[in-house]
């Protein structure tokens, strides 16, 4: 069963303007499936560079590659043959045909190097994560998450509420299309295969000498620290590797789109800010699988429940922006006096503070730290507690209470 993606309309619009579209994101999140759905009934060719014969041709004779397959074309996993980029540039400059090239790739860093050198200004770059809860459950028109009361009220009227255990069931199961659609029913076997097949193979492309068991130990240590300040020394210790290796491997996880960071918010008037980023997984299901929570119930009552809930909320906010083709300007705040704001959204010239709590009974004590932003040079806007309350509400005129299922 195909689940409609929020990004489809954007891809169609950009295809009428840009000669090339590149969609990056982790393996198995549905990049190719979405594009194949959009090209149904058209004459667009399809080739994947996971096919070693096609990859060899692309790398050794790009001109013959395009003579063989023609255009318009969808090239899957294009990072395997950066040699194609120069030829795509030549054809784009010659033909000026909107939508001629659809490209996907799972290694954003390697891709962006080639794009910047060859296709700057000629390609629209989009980032796709695994399914959002809006795509799976809400079926509303996607909009970037904003603390706009009217927008949230409108969405609430079209969305089914979810209770605590339903949210933790969503988190535990994960949001990979193959699991959500029912293609695979056993979540444990899916994630085990995902790690051994895709992650292992892609990491080995970047690190030929990598030991698989060592890397599994490392990524498990990273998952155990989701929603926390990045501590390379602790990760290295738990994975029995040195800190330089840990730093390099974290870069690979980020390159493959498996993790992302929130940077600390600071400016000249907020001088006691901690500078370390916070780490999150793009798919909560993978983090939960790696940390070995056997059921939604044990996860909800376990020691990591708050961190995993925060990861879920932050990743859903990020997806709402990427699915609309926008960059999420998200930060966090923590200072040396232990004052902390989980998320700061910068939007329309204002800072919107957000506290994330698993509680269904938010109170004013949870938003005490918001006042530190009054010293910032950018004005403070509406804040919120995102939590498990059953409906949209408010603590005050300036601070909303937003249910997690409403993101």
What residues are paired with 219 via a beta bridge?
none
Residue found under tokens 């800072």:
351
pLDDT in tens, 262-289: 999 977 666 667 789 999 999 999 999 9
| Residue of 152, 137, 155, 151 lying closest to 401 (CA atoms) | 152
Q: How far apart are CA 340 and CA 364, in angstroms?
A: 14
Residue 338 pLDDT: 84
CATH class of the domain at 8-127: alpha beta
What span, in angstroms and rounded, lies between the C-alpha atoms of 259 and 221? 13
Pairing assessment for the beta strands 259-264 and 278-281 based on DSSP bridges: antiparallel
In this predicted structure, the answer to whether residue 171 has a pLDDT above a threshold of 60 is yes
> What b/e sequence results for 82-100 when a residue is b if at least 16 CB atoms lie within 10 Å of its CB, and e otherwise?
bebbebbbebbeeeeeebb
Q: In what order do the strands lie in the sheet with 101-105?
A: 45-48, 73-76, 101-105, 20-24, 123-127
Determine contact, residues 222/231, Cβ cutoff 8 Å.
Answer: no
- Mapping DSSP onto H, E and C, the string for 83-143 reads CHHHHHHHHHHHHCCCCCEEEEECCHHHHHHHHHHHCCCCEEEEECCCCCHHHHHHCCCCC
pLDDT at residue 353 is higher than 70: yes
Task: Give the model confidence (pLDDT) of 292-319 as tens digits.
Answer: 999 999 999 999 999 999 999 999 999 9
Q: Where are the domains of the chain?
A: 8-127, 134-406
Q: What is the pLDDT of residue 343?
A: 98
HSE (side-chain half, CA atoms, 13 Å) at 10: 23
Q: What is the rounded distance in angstroms from the CA atom of residue 348 to the CA atom of residue 346? A: 7
> Which tens digits make up the pLDDT trace of 373-400?
998 889 999 999 999 999 999 999 999 9
Instruction: Give the rounded distance of the alpha carbon of 136 from its chain centre.
Output: 16
Residue 110's pLDDT band, with cuts at 50, 70 and 90, is: low
C-alpha dihedral sign at 20, 25, 31, 32? positive
pLDDT exceeds cutoff 80 at 117: no
Q: Give residue 93's Cα distance to chain centre.
A: 32
- Residue 247: how many CB atoms within 10 A of its CB? 14
Q: What is the pLDDT of residues 58-90, one digit of tens each?
A: 999 999 999 999 999 999 999 999 999 999 999
pLDDT at residue number 207: 84
Identify the bridge partners of residue 332 per DSSP, sorted by sequence position.
264
């Amino acid at each position: 069963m195909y689940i409609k993606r929020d990004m489809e309309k954007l891809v169609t619009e950009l295809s009428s303007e840009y000669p090339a579209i590149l969609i990056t994101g982790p393996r198995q999140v549905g990049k190719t499936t979405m594009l194949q759905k959009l090209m149904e009934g058209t004459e667009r060719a399809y080739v994947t560079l996971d096919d070693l014969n096609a990859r060899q041709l692309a790398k050794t004779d790009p001109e013959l590659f395009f003579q063989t397959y023609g255009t318009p074309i969808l090239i899957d996993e294009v990072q395997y043959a950066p040699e194609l980029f120069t030829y795509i540039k030549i054809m784009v400059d010659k033909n000026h045909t909107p939508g001629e090239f659809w490209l996907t790739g799972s290694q954003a860093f390697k891709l962006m190097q080639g794009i910047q050198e060859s296709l700057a200004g000629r390609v629209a770059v989009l980032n796709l994560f695994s399914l959002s809860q809006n795509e799976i459950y809400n079926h509303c028109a996607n909009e970037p998450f904003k603390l706009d009361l009217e927008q949230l009220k409108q969405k609430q009227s079209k969305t089914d509420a979810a209770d605590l255990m339903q949210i933790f069931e969503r988190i535990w199961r994960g949001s990979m299309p193959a699991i959500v659609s029912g293609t695979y029913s056993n979540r444990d076997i899916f994630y085990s295969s995902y790690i051994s097949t895709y992650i292992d193979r892609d990491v080995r492309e970047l690190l030929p000498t990598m030991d698989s068991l060592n890397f599994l130990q490392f990524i498990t240590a990273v998952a155990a620290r989701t929603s926390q300040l990045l501590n390379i020394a602790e990760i290295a210790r738990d994975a029995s590797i040195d800190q330089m290796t840990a730093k390099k491997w974290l870069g690979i996880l980020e390159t493959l789109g498996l993790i992302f960071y929130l940077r600390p918010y600071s400016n000249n008037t907020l001088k006691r800010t901690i500078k370390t980023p916070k780490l999150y997984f793009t798919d909560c299901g993978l983090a939960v699988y790696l940390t070995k929570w056997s059921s939604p119930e044990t996860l909800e009552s376990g020691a990591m429940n708050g961190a995993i809930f925060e990861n879920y909320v932050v990743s859903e906010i990020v997806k709402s922006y990427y699915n609309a083709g926008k960059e999420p300007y998200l930060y966090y705040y923590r200072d040396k006096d232990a004052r902390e704001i989980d998320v700061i959204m910068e939007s329309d010239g204002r800072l919107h503070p957000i506290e994330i709590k698993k509680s269904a009974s938010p109170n004013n004590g949870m938003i005490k730290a918001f006042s530190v932003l009054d010293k910032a040079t950018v004005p403070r806007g509406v804040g919120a507690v995102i939590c498990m309350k059953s409906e949209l509400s408010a603590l005050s005129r300036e601070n909303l209470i937003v249910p997690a299922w409403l993101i």
